């Protein structure tokens, strides 16, 4: 748009086509922005809920977490993730991964050689790890959605604030210019006609 415009009918026609395209693209970006805002809000809510649940579990576990310091118990081997299953979905043009399920490696617990607290620790730690992984997936999803939302906003604003007004202004300028040229041509033609008539009368 920064290029110098050609003040002719072809440019005018091209600009009118451009303006039409801009006007049809604007609602698309507005809708995309709206849809993305809704999804972003939903993901933010989900992140908030997960964060709260993680904090709550951490708080509740603190009462007895001291047992997890027992050196002879390799708690880590009981909380080993085998697979995280996600589903790919497209939301307003953004490809996102959604959490479906998590599978932990099955470890046999020897109830004679391990302490009683281990069962509670495995249960709370697998739940917490699941939430942490879900949170990680949601955060990545939010990142991708926010990026796309920013892009949609940029496009909407560019169309609304720059492209459409500029196209309209250029069309107005060309139309004024072409109108002036046309009026000048008519004026000239009238003057020529008048001169011719005066010459004929003299003869």
Binding mask 46-75 for other proteins (x = CB under 8 A): ------------x--xxxxxxxxxxxx--x
Furthest-apart CA atoms within the chain: distance in Å: 134
The reply on whether position 101 binds other proteins by CB under 8 A is no
Toward other proteins, which CB reaches closer, 138 or 148? 138
Q: Which residues contact 168 (CB under 8 A, 6 or more apart)?
A: 19
Label residue 92 left, alpha or beta by phi (over 0 means left) and psi (-120 to 50 means alpha).
Answer: left
Of the ranges 40-48, 123-131, 154-162, 177-185, which one interacts with other proteins (CB under 8 A)?
123-131
Toward other proteins, which CB reaches closer, 81 or 192? 81
The reply on whether position 136 binds other proteins by CB under 8 A is yes
Q: Tell me the helices (H) and strands (E) count for the chain, helix number first.
A: 3, 2
Least CB distance from residue 62 to other proteins, whole Å?
7
- C-beta neighbour count of 83 within 10 angstroms: 9
Contact residue for other proteins among 116, 199, 200, 201 (CB under 8 A) = 116
State the Cα torsion 44-49-50-55 to the nearest 10°. Answer: 120
| Interaction site with other proteins (CB under 8 A) | 58, 61-72, 75-76, 79, 81, 111-113, 115-117, 119-121, 125, 128-129, 132-133, 135-136
């Amino acid at each position: 748009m920064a290029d110098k415009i050609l003040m002719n009918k072809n440019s005018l026609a091209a600009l009118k086509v451009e303006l039409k395209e801009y006007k049809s693209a604007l609602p698309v970006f507005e809708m995309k922005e709206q849809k993305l805002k809704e999804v972003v809000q939903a993901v933010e809510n989900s992140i908030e809920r997960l964060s709260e649940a993680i904090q709550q579990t951490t708080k509740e576990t603190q009462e007895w977490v001291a047992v997890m310091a027992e050196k002879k118990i390799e708690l880590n081997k009981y909380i080993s993730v085998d697979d995280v299953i996600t589903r790919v979905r497209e939301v307003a043009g953004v490809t996102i991964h959604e959490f479906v399920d998590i599978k932990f490696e099955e470890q046999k617990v020897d109830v004679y050689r391990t302490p009683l607290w281990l069962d509670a620790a495995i249960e709370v730690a697998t739940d917490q790890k699941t939430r942490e992984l879900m949170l990680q997936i949601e955060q990545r999803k939010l990142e991708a959605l926010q990026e796309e939302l920013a892009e949609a906003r940029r496009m909407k604003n560019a169309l609304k604030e720059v492209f459409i007004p500029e196209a309209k202004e250029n069309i107005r300028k060309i139309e004024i210019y072409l109108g002036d040229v046309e009026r000048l041509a008519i004026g000239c033609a009238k003057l020529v006609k008048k001169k011719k008539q005066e010459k004929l009368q003299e003869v």
